[in-house]
Amino acid sequence: MIKINGEDSDAAGQTVASYLAMAGFDASRVVVELNEAIVPKGRYAETTLRDGDQVEIVCFMGGG
């Protein structure tokens, strides 16, 4: 089981890129932290989520 933004997820085995797409995130507008380290955007497609991982996804929002 993986924790994504504090919630349990069965995303083990997926890449960061595939999880973001499946969950409806725009990869160009988020920052992903995996086990307290930021994942470079260029590595989303090759970074695989594993059991026990802790993921935080931070979205950028515009507004005023």
Task: Confirm whether 26 is domain-assigned.
Answer: yes
CATH of the domain at 32: 3.10.20.30
Provide the CB-side half-sphere exposure for 30 (13 A, CA): 21
Q: What is the pTM of this model?
A: 0.91
Q: What are the residues whose beta carbons fall under 8 Å from the beta carbon of 21, sequence distance 6 or more?
A: 27
For the chain, the domain total comes to 1
Task: Confirm whether 64 is domain-assigned.
Answer: no
Using CA atoms, how far residue 23 sits from 4, 20, 36, 63, 64, in Å, is 11, 5, 21, 23, 26
Tell me the pLDDT tens digit for each residue of 31-55.
Answer: 999 999 999 999 999 999 999 999 9
Task: Report pLDDT for 62.
Answer: 73
pLDDT at 61 over 80: no
Among 61, 59, 30, residue whose Cα is nearest residue 44: 30
Rounded Cα distance, 8 and 24, in Å: 17
